[in-house]
Chain A
Amino acid sequence: MKWVKVIVSFILTLSFLSFPSCAFQSDELLVDDEEFGLEGAPQHRSPEPIPTRSPPVTSPTRKRHSDLDSDSKIQFSLDHAFGDSDFSPAGTFSARLKTWSHGGQTLTKLRFSRNSFSDVEKEKFKNLLESDDFYRIRLPSNVLSPPGRDFIISSVKARCLPRESLDEHFVIHMEGVNVLAVNYGSPGSCPYPRNLKLPAKWSFSSHTVLKNSEQAPRAPVFTEEILGGENAEGEVVQPAERSFWAKYWMYLIPLGLIVMNAITQAMNMPEEQATGQVPAQGQPSAGAVQRGPSSAVRRR
């Protein structure tokens, strides 16, 4: 089920828009194309020329083995707003709509073409940077019939975007052809005291990622466990192989103490013998007198 996760690479120039479309000939395709044309026409939001789409060309080399799976190309626009201003078009996403045999539709191969800022927009963006205000974007919530139920809005503090150029990162959460949410922001960190920094280049470098939902891990089922009970038991025995010290410390410590005690005893013995022997040789009468203090000392 890897198809759910499609990561699309960077998009840089407008030239992508004139990228030859490789849609396939099928009923769905025509409907979608029509739909797009109808939807695009009354919007009047894109001042930039929507690239004329080449008529569908059959490309049997890229056709999937399943006849039911079919692709078509769709586009949806990104709008932006500076602070509380109204939204205006800022770029276009184009992607392939893949219709699966079980009826589901997903987007693949997302590409993004960003319009460069006009002078007015640059000025507005500079104002945003100065006032540390929000740069807002929006997407339709349904890519087939924009805007769907409502627009998906996301915003970021404008000061998070400028580096060398204006770096932005989109993570678009999809559910079929619906856009749930878009995570929009800088591709890296945006440290808190946000400093005013103007970009060196007024062009965008955009990164886009499409995300679909993950499957939850199943609750573990322990039917095999019962069958392989012996194996598990065998592994339980393994941790018993501990080091010698870990196993026998309770015997070793008293043993060590006894040994140490014996050593000290052995140390004392020669000493005592030495002290005892000297008077015995020289003055045996003084032996009794001297024994007291010496033993007293040792006792302390």
Chain B
Amino acid sequence: MAIGSFLILFILFFFSSLNPILSLYEDQVGLVDWHQQYLGKVKQAVFHTHKTGRKRVVVSTEENVVALLDLRQGEIFWRHVLGSNDVIDGIDIALGKYVITLSSGGSILRAWNLPDGQMVWESSLRGPKHSKSLLLVPTNLKIEKDNIVIIFSNGRLNAVSCIDGEVLWEKDFEGESLEVQQVIQPPGSNLIYVVGFASSSLFEMYQINALNGELLKHESAAFSGGFLGEVSPVFSETVVALDSTGLILLTVSFQNGMISFQQTPISNLVKDSFGPAKIIPSSVTGIFAIKMNAVTIVIRVTDENKLEVVEKTNHETSISDALPISEGQQAFALVQRAGPEIHLRVKLAHNWDDNLLKESVKMDQHRGLVHKIYINNYIRADKSYGFRALIVMEDHSLLLLQQGEIVWSREDGLASIIDVTTSELPVERDGVSVAKVEHNLFEWLKGHMLKLKGTLMLASPQDIAAIQSMRLKNSEKSKMTRDHNGFRKLLIVLTRAGKLFALHTGDGHIVWSYLLQSLQKSKVCQHPIGLNLYKWQVPHHHAMDENPSVLVIGKCGPSSDAPGALSFVDTYTGKELSSLSLVHSVALVIPLPYTDSTEQRLHLLIDADKHAHLYPKTPEAISIFEREFSNIYWYSVEDDNGIIKGHALRGKCTGEVADEVCFDTRELWSIVFPSESEKIIATVTRKLNEVVHTQAKVIADQEVMYKYISRNLLFVATVALKGSGEIGSVTPEESWLVAYLIDTVTGRILHRVTHHGSQGPVHAVFSENWVVYHYFNLKAHRYEMSVIEIYDQSRADNKDVWKLVLGKHNLTSPISLYSRPDVITKSQSYFFTHSVKTIAVTSTTKGITSKQLLIGTIGDQVLALEKRFLDPRRTVNPTQAEKEEGIIPLTDSLPIIPQSYVTHALRVEGLRGIITVPAKLESTTLVFAHGVDLFFTQLAPSRTYDSLTDDFNYALLLITIVALMAAIFLTWTLSERKELQENWR
């Protein structure tokens, strides 16, 4: 009877493990996934220094995040991502309890409650014309006991109440060419000065009563030399500007309403002038700085408006804003980088010669120069002033310096990832033992005892918590070697700052980081931009002794003909192997499917003049390339022109660029979309490294359909010119969306379908033989997702088994795209509730596992949707055979199952991209989502059918086996005894 009950238990156990579990259990969160929160490059920081309470700092960033950070650890208290169309212009703290943000080109003003980040009020500010946006929070200016905020935006000066955001008064500045540069509020007075330039040679000054917005005085004075760039206020009634040549400094004072200019040629101040200068604005009284080429000059303005140079340096210098300290004194900080150290000096505004503080801090070379500095003071134990500095580095990281040390640092460059690739970890070698992994044997034993207790359900709540923390901190997952299942990899990411990071997929820690010199601002290259990352070398044969490397491609400046730059970086060590600055531009990079004997991948770079350049530039690579010369095709999309062109190679470059690795190209085909009716808004291709396991699909009635699998398919979506604006800007009759499938070798349009009354934006994903795209249906007022599957009919007659057996089939013959394609397409549309930021698809090693679509929703989450739901063969009443095949009855909309959110309760703020990487285990795919936040997890779209899940009950299995063994012994002895007794009868 014992056997029976155990059998029942066993069966029950099996059934329970077969039950579909798509989501996670609470205790599984954090086991394979990790989530990191970032902010982006800080563009403004305001310290909140209340006498008591926690020390905090409010920051706004270039990723449009406003956040409150803990000054002690750098942790985020709260954070709001305002989105890319709501750029933050300025932040400040009002009343000591509200964070004021001005955003969207000065048209939205918001107040957030400082401790918890709740929005208190929001007001929208309009104005007559576009202008600079300035935010000013005067410390003690009150209108009827109401603290006010002064905002200049869109050509209008507003005074807004701090309490409820009500506009108290407003004043327009409608002078046609008036460009307001500064709004100055001299402390302790009820006056506001608005200064600016009109028609480029007129200096305008308005004096306004801060209490009612009344214009008290308006003066203007002409200066024949004109003005250039910004002005820097030096005193409350004096500003410094540059003339239009950039060679003469102008001190403009408007005391008592009288405007007077004082000219000082820069050559008088500095002996050797270096060409036109630029003013670095600062708010420090009596001090400003100018920059000429790489030289920074700090200039002091004396009381008689005389200028004198106090410092001239070749180092990149950053100056902080003024920090008012006791008795009306102002302090400010200067910071410079010199070799491995940064030098920080804090001075008083009126006393240049003495330093309040002078410190040198050791700084990692890979953080680059100091871009910004913000200082804050505190009172030391000995009652003297101490200063702490928040600095923003060239790699966009944020650090807090205090007492000559780095208190904390945040890698906020990771908030702006441009491209991601992966790299394998080193192969495991000897020397990694149990003792190295676990700290000592006792800990190891204790851990195992705890686990055993847990599996036997004997553990107390404390034990369970201990087990959970052990599982989360499992050192196995963050090991620096390759694992059998291929879960451990390095994510190599390139950030906008031109820094490469290697993140470990186990727990997301930074393995190494490298600031690429080729992507740093230099004399040759003023505005370098990182473009892409490619796998350059992936050693398989020499995996033990060679390191993989990646290729980083950048270019100099935003124009299309800017010269390119290449860097090769070792992914194990994070060292740059070599770098090249190219003479040609980089318009397109094609990783070719060929590698040379050192397993370096051949890459073809196409420049703006349509010349192709081969890398690596070795004779071997050229010989490999020439073998495949006639089989290389590519296409180019001219979005603004509405033309797609196909190209092939012709021969070596002719003309002045005589280069072994340069090739001429020629145009093979072109598709011209009518400019008045169609505009290209999306182009999508298949992933180059995607694997397709089965070429055929057996459908319900034992029929076979062959997938049309071509790497050269391009999905293009065009919309009517009118419909390319925002959703709802056109009527359904004027708007349509056309989807194309184009063969990029021959330029054939294989499929073309029009969705009337639909509008972009279109997000699409292409995989195997299908494409799924998301758009807005204006007639139904809903978002829709459509699927197109494309099947090859030319191979459809290969169904006969005898033909296959006798080899009379054309399945193995090479397929030429020059043959006339014989394809059929199936498509279907479904409604989908969400708007979408990005779509990706899971990818596995062999492509056997069924696919899931990963949809980045507008709520910054990642939703996994099975491809089965987007099957064009779904019908209202599927037949029995179709049901067995797994076809779901047709519904008009796609289901959103709350449990199928991959990101579970988390949000990947500012989601921009989702990358899927196959693990070695066929069932599993690795998913990396990035935006302002990073999120990584493992997914098993068809569940882990090829391995036991983590929660597999080994104990029960063991007990069952033991019990079965015992039962066998028992029954055996029993039967033996019985037999013996029978024999003796």
Q: Please give the residue numbers on chain A whose beta carbons come within 8 Å of chain B beta carbons, in ascending order.
A: 84, 132, 134, 136, 141-142, 148-157, 160, 169, 171, 173, 175-176, 178-181, 183, 185-194, 211, 213-222, 225, 232, 235, 239, 292, 295-296, 299
A sample of 25 cross-chain residue pairs with beta-carbon separation below 8 angstroms, ordered by A number, consists of A149-B643, A150-B672, A153-B669, A154-B668, A154-B747, A155-B669, A156-B746, A160-B819, A175-B678, A178-B674, A183-B746, A183-B748, A185-B820, A186-B818, A187-B820, A189-B819, A191-B813, A192-B816, A214-B752, A215-B754, A216-B786, A217-B829, A220-B892, A222-B892, A235-B877
Q: Smallest CB–CB gap between B653 and chain A, Å?
A: 15
User: Does A219 contact B831, Cβ atoms closer than 8 Å?
Assistant: yes
Partner of A213, one of B669, B738, B816: B738
User: Given the known A-B contacts A188-B820, A232-B877, are A153 and B670 also in contact in the complex, defined by CB atoms under 8 Å?
Assistant: yes
Contact string against A for B residues 908-943, beta-carbon threshold 8 Å, 1 for contact and 0 otherwise: 000000000000000000000000000000000000
Partner of B818, one of A156, A173, A213, A295: A156
Tell me which residues across on chain A come within 8 A of B678, comparing CB atoms: 175
- Contact A84 B650, beta carbon cutoff 8 Å: yes
Complexed CA–CA distance, A220 and B890 (Å): 8
Most chain A CB within a 10 A radius of its CB, from B650, B669, B983? B669
Check if B816 sits within 8 Å of A190, measured CB to CB.
Answer: yes
| Bound CA–CA A160/B642 (angstroms) | 30
Kindly list chain A residues whose C-beta atoms are within 8 Å of the C-beta of B677: 175-176, 178
Q: Are A169 and B820 in contact (CB under 8 A)?
A: yes
Is the C-beta of B794 less than 8 angstroms from some C-beta in chain A? yes
B905 within 8 A of partner (CB): no
Q: Is the CB of B754 within 8 A of A84?
A: no
Q: What is the minimal beta-carbon distance from B134 to any residue of chain A, in angstroms? A: 46
Within 8 Å CB of B753, what residues of A? 213-216
**Across the interface, which residues of B come within 8 angstroms of A160, CB to CB?**
818-819
With beta carbons under 8 angstroms apart, the residue of A191, A225, A292, A295 that contacts B819 is A191
Q: Would you call A153 and B667 a contact (CB within 8 A)?
A: yes
A24 to chain B, nearest CB (A): 26
The secondary structure that dominates the A interface is: mixed
Report which of A156, A213, A216, A232 forms a contact with B829, defined as CB distance below 8 A: A216
Q: How far is the CB of B654 from chain A (nearest CB, A)?
A: 12
B756 proximal to A (CB < 8 A) = yes
- What residues of chain A lie closer than 8 Å to B818, measured between beta carbons? 156-157, 160, 185-186, 190, 194
- A/B pair count, beta carbons within 8 Å: 151
Tell yes or no: B580 within 8 A of A by CB.
no
Docked complex: B843-883 residues within 8 A CB-CB of A: 876-877, 880, 883
Q: Return the 10 tightest CB-CB contacts between A and B, nearest first.
A: A192-B814, A189-B819, A178-B674, A219-B829, A183-B748, A190-B818, A181-B671, A141-B672, A213-B754, A192-B816
A156 to chain B: which residues have CB within 8 Å? Answer: 746, 818
Within residues 621 to 648 of chain B, which ones have a CB less than 8 A from any CB in chain A?
630, 642-643, 648
Q: A155-B669, A186-B819, A222-B891 are in contact. Are A211 and B877 (CB under 8 A)?
A: no
A148-B672, A190-B818 are contacts. A211–B831 as well, Cβ < 8 Å? Answer: no
Chain B proximity of A172: nearest CB distance (Å)? 10
Q: Smallest CB–CB gap between B631 and chain A, Å? A: 10
Chain A residues whose C-beta falls within 8 Å of the C-beta of B748 in the assembled complex: 171, 181, 183, 185
**Given that A153-B669, A299-B979 are known contacts, is A189 also in contact with B820, CB under 8 Å in the complex?**
yes
- The residues of A that contact B650 with a CB separation of less than 8 Å are 84
- Is B673's CB under 8 angstroms from A219's CB? no
Residues of A within 8 A of B880 (CB): 239
A103 → chain B, closest Cβ, in Å?
13
- Which B residues are CB-close (under 8 A) to A292? 983
Given the complex of chains A and B, what is the CA–CA distance between A211 and B748 in angstroms? 12
B830 within 8 A of A: yes
Q: For A224, give the chain B residue with the smallest CB separation.
A: B876
CB distance from A183 to the nearest CB of B (A): 4
B contact residues around A194 at 8 Å (CB): 816, 818
Cα-based distance from A211 to B749 in the complex (angstroms): 10
Task: Indicate whether B970 reaches chain A with its CB closer than 8 angstroms.
Answer: no
A189-B816, A219-B780, A222-B892 as given contacts; A154 in contact with B669, CB under 8 Å: yes
Contact A136 B668 (CB under 8 A): yes
Q: Which chain B residues (732-767) contact chain A, with CB distance < 8 Å?
A: 738-739, 742, 746-749, 752-756
Given contacts A141-B672, A180-B749, 17 further A-B contacts (CB under 8 A): A136-B668, A149-B672, A152-B670, A169-B820, A171-B749, A178-B677, A180-B672, A185-B819, A190-B819, A211-B749, A214-B753, A216-B753, A217-B827, A217-B828, A219-B829, A220-B892, A232-B876
Query: How distant is B774 from chain A, measured CB to nearest CB, in Å?
Result: 12
Give Cα A158 to B747, complex, Å.
16
Give Cα A155 to B783, complex, Å.
39
Min distance, Cβ B748 to any Cβ of chain A, angstroms: 4
Q: Known A192-B816, A213-B752; judge A219-B830 contact (CB<8 A).
A: yes
| Contact A215–B747 (Cβ < 8 Å) | no
Name the residue of chain B whose CB is nearest to the CB of A153: B670
Which residue from chain B places its CB closest to the CB of A225 in the assembled complex?
Answer: B876
Q: How far is the CA of A188 from the CA of B818 in the complex (A)?
A: 9
**CB-based contact A180/B668 at 8 Å:** no
Contacting pair A186 B777 (CB below 8 A): no
Bound together, the chains give a CA A275 to CA B3 distance in angstroms of 36
Contacts of A235 in B (CB 8 A): 877
Give residues 661-684 of B contacting A (CB, 8 Å): 666-675, 677-678
Cα distance A134–B648 in the bound complex, in angstroms: 10
A214/B672 contact (C-beta < 8 A), A132-B630, A156-B746 known: no
User: At the interface, yes or no: B784 with Cβ under 8 Å from chain A?
Assistant: yes
* Complex Cα spacing A79 to B546, Å: 55
Residue B815 is within 8 A (CB to CB) of chain A in the complex: yes
Q: Establish whether residues A189 and B667, one from each chain, have CB atoms under 8 Å apart when the complex forms.
A: no
- The reply to whether A151 and B670 form a contact with Cβ atoms under 8 Å apart is yes
- Knowing A216-B755, A220-B892 are in contact, say whether A183-B747 is a contact too (CB < 8 A): yes
Cβ–Cβ contact A216 & B892, under 8 A: no
Q: How many whole Å from A237's CB to the nearest CB in chain B?
A: 12
- How far is it, in angstroms, between the C-alpha of A152 and the C-alpha of B646 when the chains are bound? 11
Distance (whole angstroms) from the CB of B719 to the closest CB of chain A: 13
Write out the residue numbers on chain A whose beta carbons fall within 8 Å of the beta carbon of B890: 220
**Partner among A148, A181, A191, A239 whose Cβ is within 8 Å of the Cβ of B816:** A191
Q: How close is A107's CB to chain B, nearest CB, in angstroms?
A: 14
In the complex, are the beta carbons of B643 and A155 less than 8 A apart?
no
Cβ–Cβ < 8 Å partners of A211 in chain B:
749, 752
B819 contacts across to A, CB distance below 8 A: 160, 185-186, 188-191
Given contacts A150-B643, A150-B672, A216-B829, contact A185 B746 (CB under 8 A): yes
Report B-chain residues with C-beta under 8 Å of the C-beta of A214. Answer: 752-754
A residues in contact with B672, CB < 8 Å: 141, 148-152, 178-181
Chain B 939-985 interface residues, beta-carbon cutoff 8 Å to A: 979, 982-983
Measured in the bound complex, the distance between the Cα atoms of B745 and A192 in whole Å is: 14
Q: Tell me the B890-915 residues at the A interface (CB within 8 Å).
A: 890-892
Q: What is the CA–CA distance of A54 and B667 in the complex, to the nearest angstrom?
A: 39
Closest partner residue, chain B, to A183 (CB atom): B748
Q: Cβ of A299: which chain B residues have Cβ within 8 Å of it?
A: 979
- How distant is the Cα of A214 from the Cα of B826 in the complex, in angstroms? 13
Residues 799-843 (chain B) with a chain A CB within 8 angstroms: 813-816, 818-820, 827-831
A169 to B739 alpha-carbon distance, docked (Å):
24
Inside 8 A of B794's CB, which chain A residues have their CB?
A: 189
Give the residue of A173, A192, A225, A232 whose beta carbon is less than 8 angstroms from that of B749.
Answer: A173
> B747 contacts which chain A residues (CB < 8 A)?
153-154, 181, 183
Q: A219-B829, A219-B892, A221-B892 are in contact. Are A153 and B752 (CB under 8 A)?
A: no
Closest residue to A220 on the B side, CB-wise? B892
B821: nearest residue on chain A (CB-CB)? Answer: A183
Residue of B nearest to A177 (CB): B674
Contact, CB under 8 Å: B820 / A186: yes
| In the complex, residue of chain A having the shortest beta-carbon distance to the beta carbon of B673 | A180
Question: Taking the nearest CB of chain B, how far is it from the CB of A275, in angstroms?
Answer: 16
Which of the listed residues B648, B672, B749, B979 has the most CB atoms from chain A within 10 Å of its own CB? Answer: B672
In the bound assembly, the distance between CA atoms of A152 and B830 in angstroms comes to 35
Tell me how far the C-beta of B555 lies from the nearest C-beta in chain A, rounded to whole angstroms: 27
